[in-house]
Amino acid sequence: MFEKGEPNILAELFVLTVAKNNSSHRGRLDIIAAILEASRRKVRKTHLMYRCNLSFKQVEAYLGFLLERKLLCQAEGDPSAFKITGKGERFLEAYKGLLRLIG
């Protein structure tokens, strides 16, 4: 399912979810999943802000995190837009599977 080194990313992000308290606030993993879901179609930062209900500063931080880990990439032909990668798709499916498992 994952290439060499990828399970570490999933484990790192899963720990963030488990550490989340039972408040109504979204956890980091929930926000990452929302960004990846919104990025299934080419999307710009401003649209991510509105779709995911994030500030510009938050979008910048999450984009850096996701680009560095190759879960997102710049959209072909439009460097100001972003699109989910195959690795991001696999992560999103694993995330949804975890939600089904613990939900």
At 69 the pLDDT is 97
Give the number of other CB atoms < 10 A from CB of residue 62. Answer: 20
Q: What amino acid is encoded at 5 in this protein?
A: G
Domain spans of the chain, in order of start: 26-102
At 30 the pLDDT is 95
**Residue 44 backbone class (left: φ over 0; alpha: ψ -120 to 50; beta: rest):** beta
Longest dimension (CA), the chain: 42
Distances (CA, A) of 27 to 34, 42, 78, 79, 82: 11, 24, 30, 28, 22
At 12 the pLDDT is 64
Q: Name, in order, each residue with C-beta under 8 angstroms of 47's C-beta and a sequence gap of 6 or more.
A: 38
Which residues of the chain carry a pLDDT beneath 50?
A: 21
Q: Which CATH number fits domain 26-102: 2.40.50.100, 3.40.50.10300, 1.10.150.80, 1.10.10.10?
A: 1.10.10.10
Chain segment 11-39, per-residue pLDDT in tens: 666 665 555 545 567 899 999 999 999 99
As a whole number of angstroms, the distance between CA 86 and CA 71 comes to 7
At 26 the pLDDT is 85
